[in-house]
Chain A
Amino acid sequence: MEEIKLIEIKENILSDNDEAARQLRQKLADEKTFVINLMSSPGAGKTSLLLQTIERLKNELRIGVIEADIDSVVDAEKIRQSGAAAVQLRTGGFCHLDAAMVKTGLDGIGSKDFDLIFIENVGNLVCPAEFDTGAMKSAMILSVPEGDDKPLKYPLMFTVSDVLLVNKTDMMALSDFDTAALRKRVHKLHPEMEILEVSAKTGAGMDQWVDWIRRAIENFS
């Protein structure tokens, strides 16, 4: 009878993606293009927040957007109308973006011609957190109607993001959202996380967010 052999492997399953992301970040650094990966649940306001952000920065930065919404071209159309360039990645039901898909988008838009590119990741708080996209920074949007308990349910997302935008603060009066509890929960998971309260609808807090982006780009270059 044949003998069963035990073969040691010790390989990281995600090492291909990690390596692709590292190379992408290097290429973007050489091109002086800053990339922010934007993650949230569906409906948290990624697209409206982007439109407001583009409005405030379009005179100082060349901005592009890579949209990864599932099989729809609606978001990319809206972005193009705002004056920024946009490419739509058809993710065909994929639950997240990985570095290879992001690279396709960056090649498609011509990343070297931009100062700032946003990746609008697939609306999902689980899978995008596990895959490095090659972006320099990751921003997460949590909208007030989603509740202040999300850090307890999706801890990894809150661990991998660099900044948290609490969006739809205009709806605060209608909900029992507890901002202090949220801050405490987030900071227990990720002590350095910056938390900005914004409303893409009224514009409240948007200046602080735009300043955060300016600072991030300045520290990078």
Chain B
Amino acid sequence: MHELPVTESILEIVVKHAKQNQVSRVVSITLEVGELSDLENEWLQHYFDYLSKDTLAAGAELKIQRAPIVLKCRKCGHEFQIRKDELGLSDCPQCGTAGNVSLVSGRQYHIKEMEAL
């Protein structure tokens, strides 16, 4: 739902790096977005196309990689991946402890890299 401000932020960072590296055109941008976020890939691209029209990044393709949700059991320290629909349902697969986990990853919004000419 908040694809617009996120897209503005992506564009700003990308244009900054494009200038630093003195490229003429950005071809693709690889993002790493945690599974816990509700961003819609399609909308992100639509907003990006609109906002980037008159910039070095016009026409760039957003490649969105979803980073899995990783939890850590606070009892035995075991780290394990789960799907979003399993959140709040799964016990630690190693020691069986219920409901004593912390979130290791799954919330991130990172720009990993970009391809440019």
**Is A6 on the interface with B (CB-CB < 8 A)?**
yes
How far does the Cβ of B58 sit from chain A's closest Cβ, in whole Å? 16
Q: B112 touching A9 by the CB < 8 A rule?
A: yes
Q: Determine the distance from Cα of A8 to Cα of B116 in the docked complex, in whole angstroms.
A: 11
| A12 proximity list for chain B (CB < 8 A) | 108-110
Number of A-B contacts (CB under 8 A): 100
How far does the Cβ of B44 sit from chain A's closest Cβ, in whole Å? 11
Q: Which residue of B lies closest to A159 (CB)?
A: B103
Q: A4's contact among B2, B87, B88, B117, by CB below 8 Å, is which?
A: B117
Q: B87 touching A14 by the CB < 8 A rule?
A: no
Q: A13 touching B109 by the CB < 8 A rule?
A: yes
In the complex, which residues 9-23 of chain A have their Cβ closer than 8 Å to any Cβ of chain B?
Answer: 9-14, 16
Q: Which residue of B lies closest to A130 (CB)?
A: B37
**Is B51 on the interface with A (CB-CB < 8 A)?**
no
CB within 8 Å for A10 and B87 given contacts A5-B23, A95-B2: no
Q: How large is the interface on B (under 10, 10 to 19, 20 to 34, 35 or more residues)?
A: 35 or more
| A98 proximity list for chain B (CB < 8 A) | 5
Q: Determine the distance from Cα of A138 to Cα of B103 in the docked complex, in whole angstroms.
A: 17
Q: A4 touching B1 by the CB < 8 A rule?
A: no
Q: A126 touching B117 by the CB < 8 A rule?
A: no
Q: B88 touching A189 by the CB < 8 A rule?
A: yes
Q: A13's contact among B13, B27, B113, B117, by CB below 8 Å, is which?
A: B13
| A152 proximity list for chain B (CB < 8 A) | 85, 87-89
Q: B10's contact among A13, A156, A186, by CB below 8 Å, is which?
A: A13
CB within 8 Å for A5 and B21 given contacts A13-B13, A13-B109, A96-B2: yes
| A3 proximity list for chain B (CB < 8 A) | 117
Contact surface of B with A, Cβ cutoff 8 Å? 1-2, 5-6, 9-10, 13-14, 17, 21, 23-24, 27, 31, 36-38, 74, 84-85, 87-89, 98-101, 103, 107-117
14 residue pairs of the A-B complex, CB under 8 angstroms, read A5-B115, A5-B117, A7-B113, A7-B114, A8-B112, A10-B110, A14-B6, A94-B2, A95-B1, A130-B107, A152-B87, A155-B36, A189-B88, A191-B74
Contact surface of A with B, Cβ cutoff 8 Å? 2-14, 16, 94-96, 98, 124, 126-127, 130-131, 151-152, 155-156, 158-159, 184-189, 191
